[in-house]
């Protein structure tokens, strides 16, 4: 089994965070994790018919950008937001992005 890569706080970049959150599906995943922390990948799925490989890729991008922390629990991965790390690195950024996305009338998020 491949190790899960989590960057340390000093390696989290603004570019990486913004890139990861630029996708509507990943933004929807982050909103769900904000509302219901410590969820398995399948529980945070905004689109139930999404292929598992696509969902895994979204979680990998979020994890490698430093937005979420994943840990193995049996055959599942439990995920949590790295809210404290993101707040320490970029104060107010995550909340500002989530608020702006919620207020955007043209958003195309699958979990709207």
pLDDT tens profile 10-30? 999 999 999 999 999 999 999
How confident is the model at residue 78, as a pLDDT? 87
Instruction: Work out the average pLDDT over 87-104.
Output: 93
User: Tens digits of per-residue pLDDT, 36-89?
Assistant: 877 666 665 666 677 888 888 999 999 999 999 998 877 778 899 999 999 999
How confident is the model at residue 4, as a pLDDT? 84
How confident is the model at residue 109, as a pLDDT? 47
Q: Does domain 9-101 sit in CATH 2.40.170.20?
A: no
The token pair at 77 is 């991965």
Q: How far is CA 73 from CA 9, 78, 79, in A?
A: 24, 7, 10
How confident is the model at residue 112, as a pLDDT? 44
User: Exposed, middle or buried, 41 (CB in 10 Å: 0-12/13-18/19+)?
Assistant: middle
Residue 106 above 70 pLDDT?
A: no
Extents of the domains making up the chain: 9-101
Beta-bridge partner residues of 39: 79
User: Exposed, middle or buried, 78 (CB in 10 Å: 0-12/13-18/19+)?
Assistant: middle
């Amino acid at each position: 089994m491949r190790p899960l890569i989590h960057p340390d706080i000093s390696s989290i970049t603004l570019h990486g965070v913004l890139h990861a959150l630029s996708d509507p599906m990943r933004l929807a995943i982050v909103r769900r994790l904000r509302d219901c922390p410590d969820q398995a990948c399948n529980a945070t799925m905004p689109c139930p018919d999404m292929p598992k490989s696509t969902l895994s890729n979204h979680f990998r991008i979020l994890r490698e950008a430093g937005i979420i922390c994943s840990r193995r629990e049996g055959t599942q991965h439990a995920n949590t937001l790295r809210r404290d790390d993101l707040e320490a690195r970029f104060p107010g950024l995550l909340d500002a992005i989530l608020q702006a996305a919620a207020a955007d009338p043209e958003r195309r998020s699958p979990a709207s």
